[in-house]
Copies of this chain bind each other. A is one copy, B any other.
Amino acid sequence: MSTIIDQNLVARHNGQLQANLHADYDALAGVLSRRGVDIETLTVHAQQFAVALPSWGAGTGGTRFARFPGKGEPRNVFEKLDDCAVIHQLTRATPGISLHFPWDRTDDPKALREQAESHGLYFDAVNSNTFQDQQGQEHSYKYGSLTAQSAATRAQAVQHNIDCIELGRALGSKALTVWIGDGANFPGQHNLRGSLERYLDSMRSIYAALPDDWQVFIEHKLFEPAFYATTIADWGTSFACAQQLGPKAKCLVDLGHHAPNTNIEMIVARLAQFGKLGGFHFNDSKYGDDDLDSGSINPFQLFLVFNELADAAQREGASFKTANMLDQSHNVTDPIESLMSSAVEVQRAYVQAALVDRAALRGHQEANDVLQAAQTLKQAFRTDVSPILAMARQRSGGAIDPVGAYRAAGYREQAAVARPARAGASSSGIV
């Protein structure tokens, strides 16, 4: 595996942190062993974790009010791949890349795939974009894409999705994620049922083009860009549509796409129970689809989501798998730093969920010992598994402190030189 940052630098950086890490790891090993838990098992578990990176996440995001670009932003898919390779090199937790078309369209998918593979990366789900108009596009999506009144517009949007599948096949992807912004800003703008009927018609055409070993993920979102009625607004709609389409259609849960106060971990449990949980877009939020760094606002919720995944894995066995990726907008941080930090936070929740004593939990639940059941989860969540995560990274060849190593390497400064800003350019797309 070829690396972008000098592995010697990473090793030197690790060297400075090594003694403390080992001491902290041993201390935690003791604490866990007094609870009957073997730290080594958890460390191996941590090493098995993976979450995919969104190519667009490598650029600085923005809001409708402004975007404040950073230095050295990637200007094309190959440079985004470089940034993703850095993230994986240091965290060893992000081998998959999720591309977004047409932003990442390339005429040479073979070259792209080879570059990815050289860094130990592969292509996860591909994403279609029918929520923006592209230069030279024949039919506008102003009034909808897969649900548009105009049959020609719908056909264009369907074809774009089929093109994404084709490109994904060339890249080795196995799934298509479909998120549309279609919806209404006014009561009356849409016939609510008519819009969903057109959506299903369009999706059936896309589904028909799906290879046998592919999946299609339906991503719901409560609002934005539509502000009155979003066609695929909630998990109920997503679920019903996935049922209509067939076994290759599943639901994708973005943590920021729900109404206030929604219990998201329960949605996860429901979709798992009914066989339609496809995967996740991880991020965090306080108000809406804020696309903040994973675990930055409500880390306990992230843990509870993984607690459901651990429960599902125990029930379903090896067959249970979800497609997990980060989906964040980095408006005030270095995107590479935020992606590394978020990958670690998601991994943290994954390891903490593995710490839950499920037999004890079941016992408390069966005995209606509510307080101890709650404490069983809290104890796992409270455990600071940072040394496990750091040790897992180091053993897999990554950095004990990814952000520290990244800063020490001066990668951003070098990128700022190699990738001069272009006036008005927004190559990374909007997140």
**Which residues does A use to contact B, with CB under 8 Å?**
20, 23-24, 27-28, 30-31, 34, 61-66, 68, 131-133, 140-143, 149, 181, 184-194, 196-197, 222-225, 227-229, 233-237, 239-240, 258-263, 265-267, 269-270, 272-274, 285-288, 290-293, 296-301, 304, 307-308, 311-312, 315, 331-334, 337-338, 341, 361-362, 364-366, 368, 370-378, 381-384, 386, 403, 424, 430-431
Residues B331 and A296 in contact, CB atoms below 8 Å apart? no
Stoichiometry, as copies per complex, reads: 4
The distance in angstroms between the C-alpha atoms of A131 and B187, with both chains bound, is: 31
Residues A187 and B143 in contact, CB atoms below 8 Å apart? no
Q: Which of B132, B269, B331 contacts A185 (CB 8 A)?
A: B331
Q: Which of B66, B141, B237, B366 contacts A225 (CB 8 A)?
A: B66
Residues of B within 8 A of A381 (CB): 299
The distance in angstroms between the C-alpha atoms of A27 and B285, with both chains bound, is: 34
Residues of B within 8 A of A307 (CB): 187
Residues A261 and B287 in contact, CB atoms below 8 Å apart? yes
A256's nearest neighbour on chain B, judged by CB, is B227
Residues B270 and A237 in contact, CB atoms below 8 Å apart? yes
A66 and B133 contact, Cβ closer than 8 Å, known pairs A190-B365, A290-B227, A304-B187 = yes
The distance in angstroms between the C-alpha atoms of A361 and B261, with both chains bound, is: 30
Q: Which of B27, B293, B370, B373 contacts A28 (CB 8 A)?
A: B27
A34's nearest neighbour on chain B, judged by CB, is B20
The distance in angstroms between the C-alpha atoms of A403 and B373, with both chains bound, is: 13
Residues of B within 8 A of A370 (CB): 143, 184-186, 189, 332-333
Residues A286 and B300 in contact, CB atoms below 8 Å apart? no
Closest-CB distance, A257 to chain B (whole angstroms): 12
Residues A261 and B236 in contact, CB atoms below 8 Å apart? no
Residues of B within 8 A of A132 (CB): 65-66
Closest-CB distance, A87 to chain B (whole angstroms): 14
A143's nearest neighbour on chain B, judged by CB, is B368
Closest-CB distance, A340 to chain B (whole angstroms): 9
